[in-house]
Amino acid sequence: MTHPTSLSGRTAVVTGSTSGIGAAIAHQLAARGARVVVTGRDARRGAEVVTGIESSGASAVFVAGDLTAPPAALRELAAHWVAALDGRVDILIHNAAVCPAVDTVTLTDADLEATLAVNVRAPQVLTAALAPAMAERGTGAIVVIGSWMASVGHPFVGFYSATKAAEAQLARSWAAEFGPRGVRVNTVSPGATRTPINAGSDDVIAQMTAQTPAGRPGTPDEIAHAVAWLVSDEAAYVHGAVIPVDGGITATR
């Protein structure tokens, strides 16, 4: 009997999966039996993630992609993902994000455009490209990787937080739109999580999480486990949810 958390026979795409949370999600989905597209701009790091997945006996392939590209190019990228997965994408994880750690006045035009493109425009275009086929098959799962900062005010990363709130609202709307046709859409909202991107900010992250119920930062694997459960059959009745995996920071802040 197949365990309800098994993803055997399914295919998945994880954006921004060449490192950090995205790489951990790719590893976890592959470990549960999915064939995974690892995607991002860095081919070397992407190849390393694929090699790591394959060394454990699982299946993955790297497809390079730039989520700041125009919508037409994003639709072409979605088509490349479908081709790499032999004609179907069953699971789509919107993980890639741009997070300029600056205040409102300091945010540059270039960072504003890139953050809006990667965090909002790309998920919209890619979901529009891939969700209809899932709905036609009557099954599929989409997960947005949000942020605890989407629900609190903070003097820095304000624009990033706003885009993450927008992305979570898109996920709710997609749940309403595609859920009746078998496509579940949800958001996993991480708290302060140690990744290669923030490796130089250990003191700040430790201070930020010291007074939370968990008392520590999260790890990419902890986020990945939540995502893997959410796309599995065990979560079949979960639609349109925002699930905090944040050590309790939003509940007790």
Active site residues: 160
Contact indicator for 97, 118 with CB cutoff of 8 Å: yes
- Cα–Cα distance measured from residue 224 to residue 182, given in angstroms and rounded to the nearest whole number: 23
Show the beta-strand stretches assigned E in the chain: 11-14, 35-40, 59-64, 91-94, 140-145, 183-190, 242-245
Taking only Cα atoms into account, the Rg of the chain, rounded to an integer number of angstroms, comes to 17
Q: Where are the beta strands (DSSP E) in 16-145?
A: 35-40, 59-64, 91-94, 140-145
Q: How many CB atoms lie within 10 A of CB 56?
A: 10
